[in-house]
Amino acid sequence: MADTRPFSRFELLIAWRYLRARRSEGGVSTMTWISLIGITLGVMALIATLAVRSGFRAEFVDTILGANAHTTVYYGPRHITNDLTGESYVVPTRIEDYDAMAAEIAALPGVTRATPVIRGQVMAKMGDRSNVAEIYGVSADDLRAMPRISDPETAMGRIEDFEGGIAVGAALARDLGLVIGQRVSLISPDGAQTAFGTTPRVSTYEVTYIFSAGRYDVDMTRIYMPIAQAQDYFNREGVADEIQVFVTHPEQIEDWAVPLLQTAGSGALLWSWKDSAGDFLETLDVEDNVMFIILSILVLIASMNITSGLIMLVKNKGRDIGILRTIGLTEGSILRVFFMCGAFTGVIGTIAGVILGVIFALNVDHIMTFVNYISKGGAWNASVRGIYELPAQLRLIDIAKAVGLSLTLSFVVTIFPARRAARMNPVEALRYE
């Protein structure tokens, strides 16, 4: 008999008949269901994990870029020698003509904004409560330009009132018991110089705005102050500590290193968001690869059940194979029939896994809220994780990777038992029938 067209209709019908046959008819429906469920759960876990990992990384990066500069231009310390005593000591270098420098940096191609900033650490005190805070002295326009800080849905108060007070992180405000309109004391160890040494500087400011940047460490430590007040408070009139720079593509911040250093001049240094968070992001990438390998092994184990099921199916269908070969089916047709038996299981399991994985990823926030409720808040601690919720981001590339892996493994493990069926001798198969 001439070889038939590959994957013809009759081969498909035979494969489908064998796949859904009852055990009494020589089928292996139980093993088929085990394979199907295993592949479904494996693909679902793979898609859900990849979506959560992608979402976590995207949220982590977004909270960094939404409340921090993409890179910062500053100058290293200077060595000063006292002419009278000959003593040498180190002092920080301030930026004097900071407005002109910020304008020059902002004119660079790809730079969207350059912001002069005053920075300093203080002790924030309200009643009998106190905590360490980091002051950022910025202009009102620059504060409004920060998407995570100026978000009205997560903030309290009016950002337009910033010039009349200070903006405090939500976690710090909660820790100190602050609300809009209250006054908080800020204590700096670098105060006025007297004959008895340096006295701490204590000033009180009205809280006019409370923000949530989406990152616990930012909300717990950061206070924004109008730059003029910050200069007066830290005794830095006419100077700035650094220039914070924002670019169009922060993921490629390295491309701006040379132009920024050339513009800033001799002694300038850069500190980008990747310098502060790059190690953590690299760790996330490594974990992503490891998790993909581990879950791929789970999918492989589930796919191996297809091999077991097909071997049993070939053994039970020995008589049928002999008859089919006798009436003229070729080895290729028999191979394709049993290959499709395994492939059907892999395809159906993969489709079901994709559907369940997408549903899980789209509802992961509700699922995590329920788990957190059951565990009484122990499942997700913002002070440890850094962000307040577990996000998920479905990406087509992640779904394609899961589907491709599942189908490839399902097809590969099917080849061996299908070849065994195709090479079965019809005489031996019918000898005892």
Supply 295's token pair. 């879950």
pLDDT at position 93: 82
Which of 166-170, 221-225, 318-322 has the lowest average pLDDT? 318-322
Which of 19-28, 149-158, 161-170, 389-398 comes out lowest in average pLDDT? 19-28
Closest of 68, 125, 144 to residue 386, by C-alpha: 68
- What was the pLDDT predicted at 2? 45
pLDDT for 359 beyond 60: yes
Rounded-to-integer distance, Cα 260 and Cα 255, Å: 10
Distances (CA, A) of 247 to 115, 118, 240, 242, 271: 12, 20, 20, 16, 14
Model pLDDT, residue 84: 53
* Confidence category of residue 186, pLDDT binned at 50, 70, 90: very high
Q: What is the predicted pLDDT for the residue at 369?
A: 74
- Given a cut of 90, whether residue 38 has pLDDT beyond it is no
Of the listed ranges 194-198, 207-211, 343-347, 415-419, the one predicted with least confidence = 194-198
pLDDT on residue 380: 56
pLDDT at 352 over 90: yes
Q: 267-286, pLDDT tens digit by residue?
A: 889 999 988 887 777 887 88
What's the mean pLDDT in 324-349? 79
Q: What is the mean pLDDT of the chain?
A: 82
Amino acid at 216: Y
The arithmetic mean of pLDDT across residues 308-316, rounded, is 74
Return the CA Rg of the chain. 33
Helix (H, G, I), strand (E, B) or coil at 131: strand
Q: How confident is the model at residue 418 (pLDDT cuts 50, 70, 90)?
A: confident
pTM equals 0.71
pLDDT at 389: 64
Residue 18, number of CB atoms within 10 A of its CB: 24
Helix (H, G, I), strand (E, B) or coil at 121: strand
Domain locations in the chain? 9-63+280-430, 77-266
Q: What token pair was written down for 421?
A: 């069926």
Q: CA 274, CA 28: separation in Å to the nearest integer?
A: 55
pLDDT at 207 (0 to 100): 94
Residue 30 CA to residue 45 CA, distance in Å, equals 23
Taking 70 as the threshold, does the pLDDT of residue 310 lie above it? yes
pLDDT tens digits along 90-141: 667 888 889 999 999 999 999 999 999 999 999 999 988 999 999 999 999 9
Q: Would the pLDDT of 239 be above 50?
A: yes
83 has a pLDDT exceeding 50: yes
